[in-house]
Amino acid sequence: MNYLTETDIKTQLANLDGVQIDERSTDSVVAYSLGGEIVATVKNNSNPVAVSLRCDPNLAKLLRENYESVLEGQGLNKRHFITVLLTGQLSDDDISDQIRHAYEETKAILDDRSVAS
């Protein structure tokens, strides 16, 4: 059974070092970014809770193939984002791991940019 709430997800994202609520947020979706790059979005008041997370394309494909609750990123680059519906199919730890993965993937993009410039 899944116990993470929308508030829990938003708190986890906001507590990641350097992550902030992005100006691209709307009334229906809160976007979280790091250095201007989207890490995740959370759909407000959705049932089930829907969180879109940056994800390695190969891992994203594997997760979508194995879990009905993992979809292509909604409203985002479908290759680099997944949308996870918190239905209980993935454990709280799995979802927290995916949040951390989204953060690390975003950090890697920013690190690559700083090396290239």
pLDDT, residue 71, reads: 96
Residue 1 lies in a domain: no
Q: Please report whether residue 79 resides in a domain.
A: yes
Bond before 57 cis per omega within 30 degrees:
no
- The count of structural domains within the chain is 1
**Residue 24 belongs to some domain of the structure:** yes
Query: What integer is the mean pLDDT of 35-56?
Result: 96
Four-point Cα dihedral 101, 39, 64, 50, nearest 10: 120
Asked if residue 100 is part of any domain, the answer here is yes
CATH number at residue 108: 3.90.1150.30
pLDDT at 1: 54
For residue 74, the enclosing domain spans 6-116
| pLDDT at position 114 over 80 | no
Q: How many CA atoms lie within 13 A of 34 on its CB side?
A: 23
pLDDT, averaged across the chain:
94
Asked whether residue 38 is assigned to any structural domain, the reply reads yes
User: pLDDT tens digits for 8-30?
Assistant: 999 999 999 999 999 999 999 99
Given this model, what pLDDT does residue 3 score?
Answer: 83
